Structure 1
Amino acid sequence: MNNYKSFFFLILIWSFCFGIQAQTEPKKAPLKTVLEQIANTHSIQFNYSSSLIKNIYVFPISNKLSLGNKLKKLEAQTNFIFTLLDSQIVGISSPVIICGYLKDSTTKAPLVGATIKTDNNYTVTDNHGFFDLKTRSNSEKVNIRFIGYHTIDKLASELSSTDCKNLFLSEHQELISNITVNGYLVKGIDKTINGNTIIDFSKFTLLPGLIESDVLQTVQALPGIQSVDETVSNITIRGGSHDQNLILWDGIKMYQTGHFFGLISSFNPKITQTAYVINNGTDASYSNGVSGTIHMKTAATLQTDFTGSLSLNFINANIFADTPLGKKSSLQVAARRSIDDWIKTPTYHNYFKRVTQSTEIENNDKNVTNSNQEFNFYDTSLRWLYTPTNKDAIRINFILIDNNLTFDETAVVNNSTETKQSSLSQQSIAGGINYHRKWNPKFSTTLQVYETDYNLQAINANILDNQRFLQENIVSETGVKLKGNYTKNSWKYNGGYHFVETQITNRNDVDNPRFVRLYSNVIREHAVFGQTQYQNSNSNITIKPGLRINYIEKFNKILVEPRLSIHKKVNDVLSIEVLGEFKHQNVSQVINFQNDFLGIEKRRWQLSDNDSIPVLKSKQASIGFTYKKKQWLVDATGYYKTIDGITTQSQSFTTKYEFSKNKGSYDAFGIDFLLRKNFKNLNTWLSYSFIQNTYFFDNLVEYQFPSNFDITHAITVGSTYSSKLFNISLGLNYTSGKPTSQPVSGNEIIDNEINYESANNSRLNNYLRADASALYKKQLTDDMSVNIGVSVWNLFNTKNSINNYYRVENNSANRYSRYSLGSTPNFLLKLNF
C-alpha cells in the first residue's frame, strides 16, 4: 500500500511541475505585431510586402536586446533576410538559394574544396564539385575562388537553385602562356605559346617502357632530349651535358636527380604533379642551366578530403597521402624505398648489374674477392599548403633523397684473411618556403627562400696496400627570390630580385701514407630581372621580351642576359615561333679519373674559378612552326646554340683527352621534328632530332672535332592506346652511335701510353631499343581503385654499347665496354583511395 502511495505522490508532483512549465512557456505572436513593437522601441520602419509575413508567427523578442540581436533572432525563426537599408529603415525579403557544380574547364573534373562566398555567407564544394548557398537577394555578388584557378564573380540571379548549372574555372598560371597544343605527344603533355612543354601527370596516360610516371624518363620522349647512357643523371638537351641543365623542384635547385645512381628518377611520381621543360626562350626569372630547364612542381590546390595510395613494383614500395588540415590547409607526404632488403627481383639484378659493370665493385684486383654487395635507396617528400586568406598562400616543401651501396673486399694478407668494407653514398636534403600574396586582381608578389644540400661520399678500402681512400663532394646552396607580377589589359609584367649563394667542398683523404686535400669555394650572385608579355585581343600574336642582369661578387663581373619569345598565329592551323636567350652558370660537373667514387658516380660538382674553370655562357636562337588540323600535328624547330667555357673534364671523355685539362666551347646546330596523329583512343607519333655538335679547344692537337654528345640522329616511334580500363603503349627508339676514339691499329702503344687516332673520328654501334607497357585500371568502390601494370624495357634484349675506354695492360690496349640494360620487366600494383 505504501508503494502505491509513493507512486501516486510522484505522479502528482510531475503533473504539478508540468503544469507550471506549460503555464510559463511563452506563446507565439503574429510577426506583424512583433515588428510594430520593435519599430516603436527603436524608432525605425520595416519595409516588406504584406503577403510575405501573412500568417507568420514568432516568439516575442526581449526588449533588453539590441536592434541587431533582435533582427538575428527573427532571422533564425523566420528564415527571412533582414537588411538595414539605412539608419531608419530595415528591409525584409526571402533568401535566394543558389547552387551549381564547379569543374575544371579543361578536364571537366570536379573541383573539390573551392570557396563560394558572399558578403554574409560562404560554403565549399563537395566531392562532386557541388555547392548550395543562401544569399540575401538576386543582386548579391557571389565570389567563386579556388587556389591555382582564375577567380570568377557571379550574381545570385545567375545561379538559381531551380537549375544547378555547371561552372568551369580555368587554371591560372603566373606568366605561363596559354596552351597551344593539347596532347602534344600523349594526353597530359601539352605545349605553350612560349615554346615550353608542360607535362601534367594528373592527366598523363602511359609511355612505352614506363610502369609509372617517372618525370625524368618522361622528358626523354620529347624531341631534342636524350640520355647518352639511358640514365636520368645524364640527360642531354640539344647537345648539352647533364650538368648544364637546371633541375628545379618547386623552385628549389636539385643537384641529385637519380636513384640507383641514375636509372630511375629520385623525385616521387605521386607528389610531382607537373613538369615544365624549357629548351629556349627561358623566363628571365630563371638563372643557370645554359642547356635547358626542367621545373617540377607539386599540386597548388588545397585538398578537402583525404586521398592516398599504396604501390609496389619490382624495385620499390611507395606510399602517398594528401590530408586536409581544416578548410585552409592540406599536407602531402610521399615516401618510397627499395625492396631489395626483402626480395631481390630480376629487375633489381638487371639494374644492379647495369650500374656496377666495369667498376671495382664488379671486377676488383685478381687477388681480392668482392662479396655481400648491398644496395638500397629511399626518398621522402613533403608539401604543406596553407591559405590563411583568399589573397595569401604559403607553401612549404621538404625532400630527402638517399642512395647507399656497400660491399666487402676480402684478401689474404700476410697469411691471414682480411675483410674490409667499401661504400658509396649519395644524399640530398632540401627545403623551401614560398609565400604568394595577391594584393588585388592585377598585382601579386611571390617570395621564395630555399636551402639545398648534396653529399657524395665514397670509402674505398684497399686491403692489399692497407689503405683507406675517402672522397667527398659537398654542395650547399641558399637562394632567395622576390618576384612581382602585374597585369593590365593585354600586358603582363614581372620583375624581381634573385640572390644565390653556392658553396662546394671537395675532399680527398688517404690514411696510408697520410694525405688530405680539402678545397672549398663560395660564389655569391645577385640578379635583377624584368619581363613583359603582350598578347593581342584575339591571341594572334604574343611577344615576351625579358632582361636579366647578374652580378657575381667574387669575380666582380656583370652579365647582361636578354631573353625573347615571339609567337605568331598565322591562321587556324599554322603558327610560327621565334625564341632566343643568353644564359650563364657558375657550377659544372667534372671527372678527375674514371675510377673516382668507385667508378659509379664519378662526376663531382665544382664551382667556377673564372680561370681554368670559366663561367659558362650560352647563346641560343631558334625558329619553328606548328601545324595542327583535326587530329594531325606537325611541329618542327631549327636552332643554333653556342656555349663557351666548357672544360674537357666536364665533357665525359673516356678515351682520347681523358686526362687533359683544357677549356673551350661547342656549337650545336639542329632540328627537332614531331609528327603526331590522334585517333579516338589512340595516339601515334614519330619524332626525329638531328644535331651537329662540334667542340673547339684551342690548346688541343685537334682544334675542332665532334662532341661526345653528338648524337647525330635520334628517332622515336610510339603509340599509346587509352580507355577507361586499359592503357597500352609500344615504342621504338633509335639513335646514332656515340662518338669515340680508337687506338691506332698496329701502333696502339707509345711510351706505355695509348696512341689514339683523331679525336672522336669513330662511333659506337647505333642504338636500338623497343619498349612496351600495359596498365589495367579498375574502380573497386566510389572511393577506391586499383591499377595493375606490366612493362618491359628493351623488349628484344638488344645489346647496345653505350660507352668504352682503354687501359694499357701487358703492353697492349685493352678495351672495356659498358652496355645498356638488357630485357628488363617490371610489375606494378597500386591501390588508390
Structure 2
Amino acid sequence: MPKTHLKQVILCCLLISGIFMGMAQQPSNTTTTYLIPYIQQLEGDFDVKFSYVDEDLRPIIINIPQSKDLDKILRQIQDETQLIIKKLSDRYYTLSKSNLVDICAFVLDNYAENTVTGATVEVIGSSIATITDLDGSFSLSNIPRKASIRIKHLGYKTRYITAEDLVNQNPCTPILLGVRYQQLEEVVVFKFLTSGLTKELDASILLNTKEFGILPGLTEPDVLHTVQALPGIKSIDETVSDINIRGGTNDQNLILWDGIKMYQNGHFFGLISAFNPYLTDEVRIIKNGTSAAYGEGLSGIIDMRTKNTVEAEYFGGAGFNLISGDIYGHTPLSDNLAIQFSARRSVTDFLNTPTYDQFFERTFQDTDVVDRDANFYFYDFTAKILYDYNDNQKLRLSFININNNLDYTETSGDSGRTNQSSLDQTNLSFGGTLESNWSEKFTSLINGYYTRYDLDSRISTNDAAQVLSQNNEVIETSLKLNTNYIISDQLDWLNGYQFTEVGITNFTDVSQPPFNNSTKGVVRTHAVFSELGYLSPNLKFRAKGGARINHVENLNTFSEVLVEPRLNLNYTFSNHYRLEILGELKHQSTNQIIDLEQNFLGIEKRRWMLSDSPSGTRQQNALPITRSKQVSMGINYDKDSWYASLEGFYKEVDGISTATQGFQNQDQFNGEIGNYDVKGVEFLINHKSRSFSSWLSYTYNVNDYTFEDINPTNFPNNLDIRHNVTFASTYTYNKVKLGVGLNYRTGKPYTEPQRAPNSINTTVFPNTINFQAPNSSRLSDYLRADASATYDFDISPGIRASAGASVLNLLNKKNILNTYYRINDQGEIEKVENISLGLTPNVSFRISF
C-alpha cells in the first residue's frame, strides 16, 4: 500500500477514535445513580443541607436530572420517588417517605414479548382493584407504600409484589408473569352412556354431577345409584348400602367423601344415597389398577369430591321429591374464602306418599305382621370451608353428619303379641386437606380426618318379655401425606405415608335369657407408598407402577407387614383401539359381620368388626386380615358415535368368614374361614349422538366359594350372578330429557331344607333346619324396567328450575331378591321371601341460582 494512502487511513482511524472518546465523555441522558450520593453532591453544589433517614433512601435509584436549577431537580426527585421534600429554610431541606404512593407498571409474559391484557390487579386487604389496558399497563394512586399487590390472569402464575417496588417511574416498571403449564389427563371417551360420565386413561370412570344427563329411573344424579349403571357394578338387593363390585361384598368397597372414609352411605336402610349430589363435583370409580396412594377397598373404590374452588359469586339451590327436601349453597366471604353447605331431611314422619309406601313395604316386609306403626325420619348435613392462602397454598375443611332414626311397633297376626323396636344410626365425620404447589414440578397434599359411626338398636319382643340391646361403634382417625414430583415430561413420581387407627366396639345385652357381651379392638396401620408414572412422547403408551408397604398391628393379638404391588398399563395401538392391562394386591382389616336375618327384620343386621388374626389364618371363628389379588385385560374401541369395550378379569379374595358373607343355612353360625374367586367378562357397546345415547351391557361371572371345613368344599358364592344384561336409552330434545331402561339378571343362589321327614333336627334345642347342599338352588330370574323424564326451564334470568318424574319397576314385576327359611313359634319351617320394590313413582322439583 502507498505511504500516502497508509497515512490517510491512520489519520481517519485516529479521527474516528477521537470522536467516540469524546462521545463517551459526554453525560448520557439516561444515566442513573443512587439517591444518597447524588443529594450529597447537591449539598456541595448549592451550599444546602438535607435531613433524611439513611434506611429510607439507601435503596432508591434515580435518573440524574439534567436541569441546573435546584427547585426543578427536587421536583423531579419527588415525582420519581414519591418522597416528601420540605423546605425548612433557604439552606435546610428534609426528605421523608410518604405512606401513600402512586404506582404504575407494564404486565408482560415471562419472555417479555407479549403484553398481558385484562390481567386483574388487586391491592390485598382493600377494595382497590383494576385491570391492565390493551398495552398491558395499569396505574393506581394513593396506595399504601407497604401494600401487597396481586396480579393474576388465566393461564399465568399469580404474581405478588409490594407497592413500593412499583412507585410511579418513567417508564413504568415492567412485571413478568410466568405461563402456567398444566398437564391434562387424556380422556378416552367424552360421553360415556350419558353426559357427565367419562372413561379416563387409567381405566377409572369419572362422574361429573354438574354435566350429568339422565339415567332410567333417576331424575337426580344420585351418586350411588348412578354407579350401578356401569358394567360389573350392581346391588343384588336394590340398595345403595350393599353395592357389589365384581362379585364382592359391600364392606369390601372403599367409599370416600372428600378423602374421609365413610362407614355409612345410605338413608332409608340403603334405598337412598346419603350424599348430596349438587355439591359433589366429581366421583371417581375404580374397579382395578388402583393407585398405590389408596389402601383397602378389595373390590372397588368410590371416591367422591365436593366442589373445591373459591367462586366469586354465590350459588345454590333447593328441591324436593316424595321422600325428602334439601337445600345447598356456596357463599364467598372474601376473594379467597368461601363456605359451602347442604342439608336434607325426609318428610316421611309427617307425610305419606306413594314412594314412601313402596319403600316402607320393601324395607319392613314380613309375612305375619298385620298391624304396624312406624315413626321414621332421616337427615344429612354437610359443610365445607375453602381458604386460598395464595394460588399455591389451599386449605379445605369438610364436615358431614348422616342420621337415620326409627321407632317401630308391630303386632303379630298369629299370636297378637306386640314387638317394639328403635334404631339410631349416625355417621359423624370431619377432615381437612392442605394442597401446596412448591414449584412447577413439586406438589404435596396433606389429608387428615376423624370419622365416627354409631348404631344403637333396641328390640322389645313378646310384650317386653325379652329385650335385646345392641351397639356398634367405629372410630377412625387418619393422617396422610402425598408428594408428587415431575421428573420430566415423561416421568412423574408419587410418594407418601399414611397412618390410620381404627377402634371398633360391639356391645350386646339380652334380658331373657340373661346375656351380656362387649368387645373392643384397635388396629393401627402405617403405610408407605411409591409410584412412578410414565407417558410416552407420542402419548400412546401410559404406565403406572408402584407398591404400598403396610405395617398392620392389632394392639391385642398380632402384627404383620404386607407388600402390595400395583400396575396400570394403557396402550393405544391404532387410532381407535386401546389396550388396558391392570393388576393389584390389596388387604383390609375391617369387615361387616351379618347377624341373624331375624334381627330387626333384617333391615340393619350388619356390624363392623376388626380383624383379630393375621392373613392366612384358618382357625374357626377368627377374623383374619382379608387379602385380594386381581388382574384384568381389556380392549376399548372409540370412533365417532360408537364406543365398545370388552374386559376379562380374575379376582381372588382370601380370609373371608362365613360370618361376613350372609349365609342363611347350616353354615350361618360356624365361622369357617375360606376364600372366593371370580372369573368374569364385561362387555359394553354404546351408540351416542348429540341428543341420543343407547347402550347394551353384558356381564358374565363365575363366583365360587372354597371352604375346606364345609362339605362340599366348593359351591357358588351368595353373590354368584352368572348373567347380567342392561339395555337403556336416553334422549334429549331442547330442555326435555327422557330415559328408559331394562335390567335382567339370573337368580342368586340359596339353600333349601331337606325334604320331610328329615327337614328338622329335633335332637337339639332349639330345633334346627336340616339343609340341602349349600347354595344348590337358585331364585327366579330378575327383570325390571325403569323410566324417567325431566324438563328444565328458567323462572327468571338468574333462577333456573327443573321438574322431573320417574317410575321404578314400570311393569310392576314381582322379583324375589332373597329366600330363606326359619322355624316359627309352632315349630314349623317357614319360608320367607324378600320381594323387590313394586311400581314406584316419584316426582321432583328443583330450583338453582
Residue equivalent to 2:495 = 495
Alpha-carbon distance in 1 for matches of 2:68, 2:807: 79
Is the contact between residue 409 and residue 463 of structure 1 (CA under 8 Å) also seen in structure 2? no
Note the C-alpha offset of 1:437: 1.1
Note the C-alpha offset of 1:511: 3.5
One-letter code aligned to 2:748: K
Normalised to the residue count of structure 2, the TM-score between the two structures is 0.80
Note the C-alpha offset of 1:617: 0.3
Residue equivalent to 2:407 = 406
One-letter code aligned to 1:520: K
1:40 aligns with 2:48: no
Alpha-carbon distance in 2 for matches of 1:707, 1:722: 41
1:782 aligns with 2:782: no
One-letter code aligned to 1:552: V
CA 1:698–1:570 in structure 2 vs 1: closer, same or farther (change >3 Å)? same
One-letter code aligned to 2:790: L
Note the C-alpha offset of 1:68: 7.5
Residue equivalent to 2:296 = 288
CA 1:348–1:39 in structure 2 vs 1: closer, same or farther (change >3 Å)? farther
Partner of 2:307: helix, strand, or coil?
coil
Alpha-carbon distance in 1 for matches of 2:651, 2:459: 40
Note the C-alpha offset of 1:756: 2.3
CA 1:514–1:68 in structure 2 vs 1: closer, same or farther (change >3 Å)? same
CA 1:741–1:261 in structure 2 vs 1: closer, same or farther (change >3 Å)? same
CA 1:600–1:748 in structure 2 vs 1: closer, same or farther (change >3 Å)? farther
The aligned runs of 1:441-480 (5 Å cut-off) are: 441-464=440-463, 466-480=465-479
CA 1:35–1:423 in structure 2 vs 1: closer, same or farther (change >3 Å)? farther
One-letter code aligned to 2:560: K
CA 1:797–1:71 in structure 2 vs 1: closer, same or farther (change >3 Å)? closer
What percent identity do the matched residue pairs reach? Answer: 38
Partner of 1:186: helix, strand, or coil?
coil
The aligned runs of 1:2-151 (5 Å cut-off) are: 40-41=73-74, 72-73=101-102, 98-99=117-118, 116=119, 132-134=131-133, 137=136, 144=152
One-letter code aligned to 1:579: L
Normalised to the residue count of structure 1, the TM-score between the two structures is 0.81
Partner of 1:301: helix, strand, or coil?
coil
> Which of the residues 214, 218, 232 maps onto 2:226?
218
One-letter code aligned to 1:621: V
Note the C-alpha offset of 1:485: 1.0
Note the C-alpha offset of 1:65: 9.2
Is the contact between residue 39 and residue 45 of structure 1 (CA under 8 Å) also seen in structure 2? no
Alpha-carbon distance in 1 for matches of 2:70, 2:264: 76
Deviations 1:514-536 (A, max 9, x none): 43211111101100001110102
Alpha-carbon distance in 2 for matches of 1:437, 1:788: 42
Residue equivalent to 2:207 = 199
Unpaired segments ≥5 residues, structure 1: 1-31, 48-59, 84-94, 100-115, 154-167
> Which of the residues 664, 670, 673 maps onto 1:654?
664
Structure with larger Rg: 2
Alpha-carbon distance in 2 for matches of 1:716, 1:745: 37
> Which of the residues 271, 282, 297 maps onto 1:263?
271
Partner of 1:517: helix, strand, or coil?
strand
1:519 aligns with 2:525: no
Is the deviation greater in 633-642 or in 588-597? 588-597
Note the C-alpha offset of 1:136: 7.5
1:560 aligns with 2:563: yes
Alpha-carbon distance in 2 for matches of 1:201, 1:494: 28
Alpha-carbon distance in 2 for matches of 1:35, 1:695: 101
Is the contact between residue 132 and residue 138 of structure 2 (CA under 8 Å) also seen in structure 1? no
Residue equivalent to 1:679 = 689
Note the C-alpha offset of 1:596: 2.6
Alpha-carbon distance in 2 for matches of 1:725, 1:480: 45
Alpha-carbon distance in 1 for matches of 2:315, 2:181: 23
One-letter code aligned to 1:549: I
Deviations 1:363-391 (A, max 9, x none): 45xxxx85431111000011111101111
Residue equivalent to 1:376 = 377
Is the contact between residue 730 and residue 740 of structure 2 (CA under 8 Å) also seen in structure 1? yes
Note the C-alpha offset of 1:538: 2.4
Is the contact between residue 106 and residue 138 of structure 2 (CA under 8 Å) also seen in structure 1? no
Partner of 2:357: helix, strand, or coil?
helix
Note the C-alpha offset of 1:138: 7.4
Alpha-carbon distance in 1 for matches of 2:116, 2:656: 67
CA 1:363–1:411 in structure 2 vs 1: closer, same or farther (change >3 Å)? closer
Deviations 1:36-74 (A, max 9, x none): 978612776999xxxxxxxxxxxx99778969759945x
The aligned runs of 1:667-816 (5 Å cut-off) are: 667-752=677-762, 753-809=768-824, 810=826, 812-816=828-832
Alpha-carbon distance in 1 for matches of 2:811, 2:265: 28
CA 1:240–1:71 in structure 2 vs 1: closer, same or farther (change >3 Å)? closer
Deviations 1:124-150 (A, max 9, x none): 9x9xxxx9434885799997567xx99
Note the C-alpha offset of 1:599: 2.4
Note the C-alpha offset of 1:117: 5.1
Is the deviation greater in 480-489 or in 739-748? 739-748
Note the C-alpha offset of 1:169: 9.7
Is the deviation greater in 537-546 or in 745-754? 745-754
Alpha-carbon distance in 2 for matches of 1:802, 1:206: 26
Deviations 1:766-811 (A, max 9, x none): 1111101101000222210110000001111011000011123456
Note the C-alpha offset of 1:660: 2.8
Residue equivalent to 2:577 = 574
Note the C-alpha offset of 1:748: 5.0
Deviations 1:379-409 (A, max 9, x none): 0011111101111111111000011111235
Note the C-alpha offset of 1:222: 0.3
Deviations 1:501-523 (A, max 9, x none): 00111111124554321111110
> Which of the residues 669, 674, 690 maps onto 1:664?
674
Alpha-carbon distance in 2 for matches of 1:831, 1:694: 48
Alpha-carbon distance in 2 for matches of 1:653, 1:374: 31
Residue equivalent to 1:389 = 390
Is the contact between residue 150 and residue 171 of structure 1 (CA under 8 Å) also seen in structure 2? no
CA 1:34–1:210 in structure 2 vs 1: closer, same or farther (change >3 Å)? farther
Is the contact between residue 495 and residue 531 of structure 1 (CA under 8 Å) also seen in structure 2? yes
Alpha-carbon distance in 1 for matches of 2:833, 2:539: 53
Alpha-carbon distance in 2 for matches of 1:36, 1:81: 30
The aligned runs of 1:220-259 (5 Å cut-off) are: 220-259=228-267
Is the contact between residue 527 and residue 549 of structure 1 (CA under 8 Å) also seen in structure 2? yes
Q: CA RMSD in A?
A: 3.4
CA 1:65–1:186 in structure 2 vs 1: closer, same or farther (change >3 Å)? farther
1:273 aligns with 2:281: yes
Alpha-carbon distance in 2 for matches of 1:394, 1:765: 53
Partner of 1:661: helix, strand, or coil?
coil
Alpha-carbon distance in 2 for matches of 1:449, 1:188: 29
Deviations 1:728-786 (A, max 9, x none): 11111111111112223445514233232222122101111110110100022221011
One-letter code aligned to 2:538: N
1:435 aligns with 2:434: yes
Is the contact between residue 697 and residue 726 of structure 2 (CA under 8 Å) also seen in structure 1? yes
One-letter code aligned to 1:515: F
Alpha-carbon distance in 2 for matches of 1:494, 1:139: 42
Residue equivalent to 1:336 = 344
1:631 aligns with 2:634: no
Residue equivalent to 1:583 = 586
1:306 aligns with 2:321: no
CA 1:512–1:692 in structure 2 vs 1: closer, same or farther (change >3 Å)? closer
One-letter code aligned to 1:392: Q
Alpha-carbon distance in 1 for matches of 2:733, 2:386: 33
CA 1:45–1:556 in structure 2 vs 1: closer, same or farther (change >3 Å)? same
Residue equivalent to 1:50 = none
Note the C-alpha offset of 1:462: 2.3
CA 1:65–1:246 in structure 2 vs 1: closer, same or farther (change >3 Å)? farther
